[in-house]
Structure 1
Amino acid sequence: MMLTKPVSGAGKVAAETPPDRDRAVDVARLAALVVVMFGHCALLLATIDTAGLRIGNLLGEMPAIAPITWIVQVMPLFFLAGGAAGAYGWHQSSSWGTWLFKRAQRLCRPVFWYLAAWSIGIAVTYQLLGADSAASIGRECVALLWFLGVYLVVLAFVPALTRMSTGRAVAVAVVALIAISAGFDAIRFAVGAPMAGVANFVIVWLIPMVIGVAYARHLIGPRAALVAAASAFVVQLVLAAVGPYEVSLVVTGTERISNVSPPTLLLALHCTWMSFLFVAAAGAIRRWAQRPRVWYVVAMGNGGAMTLYLWHIPAIAVATFTLHAIGLDAYQVDAPYFWAILALRAVVFAVVMAAMFWMLSPLEHRRLPWWDAPVAATGVRSTAAGLLIVLAGVALVLLAKNGLGDLHGLMTLGCFIAATAAARICAGPKQQSPQPVTA
């Protein structure tokens, strides 16, 4: 859809783009999003038989291909892009909580639409298919919201991270976060409980945020970034070979030790080398994105990035079960034409996703009454608004973990809505300047 736009349209978008916009960050965000979408499409194994719906994972069936996750695990680029964008948007005169709330306004708007749609869908499923089916769908439809929840939490650190003023400070921060993540892993392994390392959800994902802020403030040179990337990658290789960690950097459903839920030291090193590698390549990426056609695609994709992220799993489901209806299931990896059917699913998914993008991406830009009203709180009210946004992020992580299809999920959803609403109240309406009194 986007690739067939006339050159005049591409030229117009390029001409309207501010000259100081960092196009490399936008390329990183969209490229990561495309990898995530088609990666999920490839990993899903699904069919329906007399026993009901069966869902598997390609990595679970073919563990030998787990090393490919070191390439397709691109979530660090999302956080790096968020850190850079946050650093560009932060000013010392800003009030922390109000600044954070303003960023949450844009981020949460499409999430409200998404949760409203799925709440209705789950209610209908409950009436038609029962509580078990509603709970199953409720788990799947909100699983990806963990990213937005963690993102809202680590975004709150950006103003403090902008105080870094040297490359040495960046190095100390990154090394410290890596060391802390190792410490929480040690606790996790010692007590035998994965959730003992839950703090790594913040510690590990802060690493690309730190590097993103440093990149935006020109604290890291390309050569130093390349050396840091190579060093972190070598350490990750050694740790994967001799340490207690599994190779896969995504959820497989069969792993003994998950590297992502909660994150581990192995993922921390992955975040480090991938983020530094982007910094080293940013100049070349920026020059490539100057091309009008390239920038048109990047700009349009970023304009609906949350739509792509939130709705690509439903689009994969539509593609999968459309093919199932005509007898083309990608479920048994050793079945004839498995890889051809998987490729066909990717094509059908691309068509479905393009249609959903066209229909739903305008909702990202449709301002919501009250929620999107201007804000300008300062002092205690601003701080309260920021803390409530962080609380809303935690609620989203819990919602992603527990699902939406039961009473516990509904209570977590209620906490998210209550926290965002309370943050909106604390942020307050933008104060109008008093009008001078005339005689």
Structure 2
Amino acid sequence: MSSTLRSRRRRDSVSSSEVPASRKNPASRDLVVDFIRVSCMFAVVAVHLLMMEISVDQSGIGISNPLTSLSWFAQGTWFGQVMPLFFVVGGFASLTSWRSLRRRGGDAGDYLRNRVLRLVRPAVALYAFLTIALWSATAAGVPSGLLAVIAAGAGVQLWFLAAYLICQAMVPTMAKLHEAAPYRTVAALAACAVVVDVLRLGLERNPWGFDSNPIGLLNMVFVWGLLQQLGFFYADGFFDRFARWKLVVAAAGCYLVMIPLTYGGPYPVDMLTSQNPPMFPLILVGLAHTLLVKAMYPQLLRCVQLGWLQKVMFLVGSRAMTIYLWHLPLIIAVFGIALVLRVPFPQPASTEWWLSRPVFYVAAWALVLLVSAPLVRLELASTALALGADRPAMWRIATATVLAIIPPFVVMRWALDVGNATWGLVLLVVAVALVTGKVPDRTWKRPVIVERTGTAA
């Protein structure tokens, strides 16, 4: 069998897993998981909108976070911090996709290549836009202080891309560990998360001025990885074994454990503060949310049967990464349009401010859906290899994964600016190029004519 034919058959068998499951077999999907994923997206946009407010006075334009001034905000994050649940449902989808790929003859290289393309291609478009916008604003003479605040705000969400790529790189290995020793794997991840927190918090007040945050970054593997592992348990039906009252009691237990850890312990009460780098209480939040979802599963299942809701779920779910990456820059754009139109900005956190938020929320979503319509093609584009192309070597896929993680990781640590937007774009483009696949040379060559000589009979 020729190498081209083998490559073609391999491509066909592996890339068939990229066809959305809803188109192949709608019954194979857990619509409740899709609903939770989309609900998290609506919650993230709402929280980010509420955490940003523009004020205009004689001193100029100011940007503030009204939510942090609310007395109940920190406690509210125990329920409103949805990113742990996002990693849980991501783990469900990842294990399902990995097992499907394995049944079709794919391996870790195929899985990681698909993930890099799915996640990085939409990010390339965002980085290109941010690079052009920031260079243009700099050239136009926008005050550096204001531009720095705007740029930082436009890149806040990029931490998730770095964290999710790290977790996706772990899926093949963690899936094997889950099959071999699921409970020991979770216990080991939890123990490592606690050790990292102990080291980080222990060194936080050291007399040498040592920055302990880099130690906490190890929990991007242990905390987010453990939450992804809970998604593996969800996919295996682990939580279906328990009665509803047990699920509710267990969720309440998670919150009870958090009280001495936060109010009487070393952890902050605000779960957004615990996000970057992530801390152990986020595991309890994610577990509590997962338990509550399973407790309400029958009601949620009836809810997702509504036709209009399924349309909303498909509209948002099919472009989830595009919406997530672009929603903050577009929220900033909405505020910018309001400034140009001289829309009055009420006092942050006032009654008038709260009453005006639904208008801004609808405007932000309208702009997000409008912009995502053409950009979603990057997210939904096939990851199948070109006809006759060979899959890139594993070292190329691994290198591309590392290169893809670096730009959002840097933004998470040091905020977005014109410099890291520019070289970040370059790294992301290189990452995509590395995993695209090389098409064999098909240059036409003139056939060699061999003259045959012989004697007449």
Q: TM-score range by the shorter chain?
A: 0.7 to 0.9
Amino acid of the structure 2 residue aligned with 1:361? A
Which amino acid in structure 1 is aligned with residue 160 of structure 2?
A: F
SS of 1:55's partner is: strand
Check conservation: 1:194, 1:262, Cα contact below 8 A: yes
C-alpha distance in structure 1 between counterparts of 2:338 and 2:419, whole Å: 34
Question: How far apart are 1:65 and its partner, in Å?
Answer: 2.7
**Post-superposition offset of 1:246:** 1.6
Q: 1:103 aligns with which of 115, 118, 123?
A: 115
Structure 2 matches for 1:397-408, cutoff 5 A?
397-408=409-420
Q: Which residue is equivalent to 2:377?
A: 365
Counterpart residue number, 2:446: none
Whether the 8 Å contact between 2:134 and 2:151 is mirrored in structure 1 is yes
Most deviating of 230-239 and 361-370: 361-370
Equivalent residue runs for 1:274-289 within 5 Å: 274-289=289-304
Which deviations, in whole Å up to 9, do the C-alpha atoms of 1:174-196 show, x marking residues without a partner?
33322221111111122222222
Residue 301 of structure 1 corresponds to 316
Supply the AA of the counterpart residue of 1:267: L
Larger Rg: 2
Question: Comparing 344-353 with 235-244, which one deviates more in the overlay?
Answer: 344-353
Contact 1:24 1:285 in 2 (8 A): yes
1:300 deviates by 1.3
Matched pairs, number: 405
Residue of 85, 97, 101 corresponding to 1:77: 85
Q: Select between 15-24 and 265-274 the one with higher mean Cα deviation.
A: 15-24
Matched, 1:249 2:271: yes
Matched, 1:137 2:136: no
1:39 is aligned to 2:52: no
User: How far has the Cα of 1:369 moved from its partner?
Assistant: 9.4
**Structure 1 runs (4+) greater than 6 angstroms displaced:** 14-17, 367-372
Matched, 1:50 2:58: yes
> Could you give the per-residue CA deviations for residues 4-62 of structure 1, whole angstroms, max 9, x where no partner exists?
xxxxxxxxxx9986221221111111000101111111222321333333122123322
Q: Structure 2 counterpart of 1:419, which letter? A: A
User: What's 2:233 paired with?
Assistant: 214
| Secondary structure at the counterpart of residue 273 of structure 1 | helix
Q: Identity across aligned pairs (percent)? A: 26
CA distance in 2, matches of 1:259, 1:215: 24
**What whole-Å deviation, never above 9, does each CA across 1:106-134 have from its counterpart, x for those lacking one?**
22222221111121111110111257244
1:65 and 2:87 aligned:
no
Q: In structure 1, what is the equivalent of residue 286 of structure 2?
A: 271
Q: How does 1:330-349 map to 2 (within 5 A)?
A: 330-333=346-349, 338-349=350-361
The 1-side partners of 2:61 and 2:307 are apart by: 45
Structure-2 change in CA distance of 1:367 and 1:153 (3 Å): closer
Cα 1:145–1:303, aligned 2, differ >3 Å: closer, same or farther? Answer: same
**8 Å contact from structure 1 (residues 205, 271) kept in 2:** no
1:362-399, Cα deviation, whole Å (9 max, x unpaired)? 32125899987549866x81354045314412432213
CA distance in 2, matches of 1:202, 1:165: 16
CA distance in 1, matches of 2:254, 2:34: 25
The one-letter amino acid paired with 1:51 is S
Match runs of 1:120-159 below 5 Å? 120-130=132-142, 132=144, 133-159=146-172
> Which residue of structure 2 lines up, in the alignment, with residue 317 of structure 1?
332
Task: Output the amino acid matched with 2:36.
Answer: A
Name the counterpart of 1:9: none
Scaled by the length of structure 2, the TM-score of the pair is 0.78
1:239 paired to 2:261: yes
Contact 1:320 1:345 in 2 (8 A): no
Task: Give the match for residue 344 of structure 2.
Answer: 328
How big is each residue's C-alpha offset from its partner over 1:260-289, in whole Å with a ceiling of 9 and x where there is no partner? 121112223222322343344445423421
TM-score normalized by structure 1?
0.81
Offset of residue 313 of structure 1 = 1.8
Return closer, same or farther for 1:368/1:284 CA change in 2, 3 Å cut-off.
Answer: closer
Counterpart contact for 1:106–1:364, Cα < 8 Å = no
Look up the match of 1:162. 175
- The root-mean-square deviation of aligned C-alpha atoms, in Å, is 3.2
Does the Cα contact within 8 Å between 2:127 and 2:421 map onto a contact in 1?
A: no
Gap change, CA 1:77 and 1:390, over 3 Å in 2: farther
In the alignment, the residues of structure 2 paired with residue 280 and residue 386 of structure 1 have an alpha-carbon distance, to the nearest angstrom, of 39
User: How far 1:356 sits from its partner (Å)?
Assistant: 3.3
Letter in 2 for 1:231: G
| Residues 1:22 and 2:30 are matched in the alignment | yes
Counterparts in 2 of 1:244 and 1:214: CA distance versus 1, 3 Å: same
C-alpha displacement of 1:322: 4.4
Give per-residue Cα distances to partners, 1:192-211, cap 9 Å, x unaligned.
22222110122111122101
* Gaps in structure 2 of 5+ consecutive residues: 1-21, 205-211, 443-457
- 1:418 is the counterpart of 2:430: yes
**What corresponds to 1:181 in structure 2?**
193
CA distance in 1, matches of 2:440, 2:26: 27
Task: Describe the shift of the 1:300–1:371 C-alpha distance in structure 2 as closer, same or farther (beyond 3 A).
Answer: closer
